[in-house]
Copies of this chain bind each other. A is one copy, B any other.
Amino acid sequence: MVVETLSENELDRLFQALADSTRRDIVRRVTLGGYSVSGLAALYAMSFAAVQKHVAVLERASLVTKEKHGREQIVRGNHEGLQEARRLLDGYEQIWRQRADRMADILAEG
Contact residues of A with B, CB < 8 Å?
8-9, 11-16, 18-21, 24, 27-28, 31-33, 77, 79, 82-83, 85-86, 88-90, 92-93, 95-96, 99
Contact = CB atoms under 8 A, between A and B. Distances in A.
A87 B76 CA distance: 22
A92 B82 contact: yes
A69 to B, nearest CB: 18
Copies in the complex: 2
Contacts of A95: 28, 31-32
B77 A82 contact: no
A66 to B, nearest CB: 18
A89 B89 contact: yes
A21 B33 CA distance: 32
Contact of A79 (B24, B27, B96): B96
16 contacts: A8-B24, A12-B20, A12-B21, A13-B19, A16-B16, A18-B19, A24-B88, A28-B95, A33-B99, A77-B96, A82-B92, A82-B96, A83-B93, A85-B89, A86-B86, A89-B89
